[in-house]
Structure 1
Amino acid sequence: MADSKPWLTAETDSGEERHAPATMRNRDAIVAVLRGILPEQGTILEIASGTGEHAVYFGKAFPDLTFQPSDPDPECCQSIAAWTKREAVPNILPPKQLDAQAAQWDVENVVAILCINMVHISPWESSIGLFEKAGKLLAPGAPFYLYGPYLRADVETAPGNLAFERSLKSRNLRWGLRDVADMDALAARNGFVRESLIEMPANNISLVYRKAK
């Protein structure tokens, strides 16, 4: 993902759906992780849903859960709604226009939060807002899932991720790959503990946090 809007117009009748190629490459690996951490029932909030393709795929993979997609971009919300209608997935709620830096979110009663490929394509203040609101929304023991490329002091950064970092900075100096240690510290300040770090395809990782009990 080397742009703020890394998607294409999907070849559909409505023309409202957007397609992010990365979604097709990582969705099965993400679902495999989610199967081990999501509760059996309840509403799952996805922050920065983008095109909505992940939400639709997750809805099909977890029919007993309800998914609440969201994105600050109205064009993304339109795409989410179009994909949901096109695929006829009944357990996906209408998208909400939520911004990580907003004072509050118009959402409640969620049992888990997912955020995929947002942290590096947003200023650090967005990550702060993300964790602050997640800390207020989630009950003790609830999972908070992040996916994307991150830096680690004890692991050499892949050349592809270094190039990606340069590309991000060339577009916006406030963007960039974040260090896992910084994410852990931010999590701790908001009542979360990291449960696991899972290696994922294409030099990405999954970070699974839990609200402390």
Structure 2
Amino acid sequence: MSVNVPADRPQIDPHPLSPYVAWAGNRNRDPILAVFKEIFPKSGNVLELASGAGNHISYFAPNFPTLSFQPSDYNVEVFDSIKKKRAEAGAKNILDPIKIDLTAPESWPSASDRLFDVIFVVNLFQVAPASICDGIAQVADRVLTKDGFVAIYGPFKVDGKYTTESNAAFDQEILAPKVAEWGLKDVRDLERAAKPHNIALKRIVDMPANNFILLFGRA
């Protein structure tokens, strides 16, 4: 199956400071922002998981001056980049990044410190195991407000099937290096991982380039 690769796309590299991640972030940020403008609350706290270089949070936050944004990542190497992009964006509502490792409960935030109205993560699962959703759901169960939601953006399979030929081709490209856990995940696997923690899939939003935003909330 051939892959129609945009001419300006760098080689796939999931490292958060790579040219590919920056390219992908610039490509998808406006469609995501358009949805967030419709669904984000007027005020409250927003947590980004796997913030990486800070490309998305520094772009989104200035559009929501009455919300407080908390970046996080398991890799403290990216914290300087997050702070730099915050300064470049002039975003006064982005807090200092914190370390959250979704596989390490001891690193997860506490409800006694702060509750979050929104938790979001962008372009994680094509290079991470579906089981990471277990960690996301547990974090959500711990610190999500009663009516809060989790927004997960990316390309996914649905009921074991690709939704488009281009997603099938993209998956083959991701799988080609034979790196463990790389590849498109199935929405239903994420749904099953979240269910034991009382977090349920509420809505699937179709996005450009054959991507989705999966909206989860308390069951």
**TM-score (normalizing by structure 1):** 0.86
Alpha-carbon distance in structure 1 between the residues aligned to 2:109 and 2:161: 38
2:109 to 93, 106, 109: 106
Aligned-pair distance for 1:186?
2.1
Match of 2:205 among 191, 194, 198: 198
Is the Cα–Cα contact under 8 Å of residues 127 and 182 in structure 2 kept in the other structure?
yes
CA distance in 1, matches of 2:87, 2:103: 29
How many angstroms apart in 1 are the aligned matches of 2:161 and 2:34? 24
Q: Distance in 1 between matches of 2:126 and 2:27?
A: 18
Gaps of 5+ in 2: 1-10
Q: 1:59 aligns with which of 57, 61, 80?
A: 61
> Counterpart of 1:137?
143
For 2:14, which of 4, 9, 29 is the aligned residue? 4
Q: Check the 8 A contact 1:144/1:210 in 2, yes or no.
A: yes
Map of 2:5 onto structure 1:
none
Q: Distance in 2 between matches of 1:157 and 1:182?
A: 16
* Amino acid in the other structure paired with 2:99: Q
TM superposition score normalised by structure 2: 0.84
Alignment match of 1:149 (pick from 136, 148, 155): 155
Assess if the C-alpha contact under 8 Å between 2:49 and 2:71 holds in 1. Answer: yes
Distance 1:6 1:164, change over 3 A: farther
Residue in 2 that maps onto 1:95: 97
Report SS of the residue matched to 2:195: helix
RMSD across aligned positions (CA): 2.2
Identity of aligned residues (%): 33
Residue 38 of structure 1 contacts residue 143 of structure 1 at CA under 8 Å; is this kept in 2?
no
CA displacement, residues 32-54 of structure 1 (integer Å, 9 cap, x when unaligned): 21122222111100001112121
2:46 pairs, out of 31, 44, 49, with 44
Does the residue aligned with 1:174 lie in a helix, a strand or coil?
Answer: coil
**C-alpha spacing 1:119/1:50, structure 2 compared with 1 (3 Å):** same
**2:34 is the counterpart of 1:32:** yes
Cα distance in 1 for partners of 2:152, 2:86 equals: 23
Choose 106-115 or 55-64, whichever is displaced more.
106-115
Contact 1:3 1:168 in 2 (8 A): no
Q: Which amino acid aligns with 1:106?
A: P
User: 1:84 Cα deviation (Å)?
Assistant: 0.6
Q: Deviations over 1:130-156 (max 9, x none)?
A: 212212211222111000000013864
Aligned residues: 204
> Contact 1:69 / 1:92 at 8 angstroms: preserved in 2?
yes
Q: Secondary structure at the match of 1:26?
A: helix
Gaps of 5+ in 1: 10-17
Give the superposition deviation at 1:30: 0.7
Could you tell me which amino acid in structure 2 is paired with residue 99 of structure 1?
D
In 2, the alpha carbon distance for the partners of 1:202 and 1:156 equals: 13
Give the residue type in structure 2 aligned to 1:134.
A
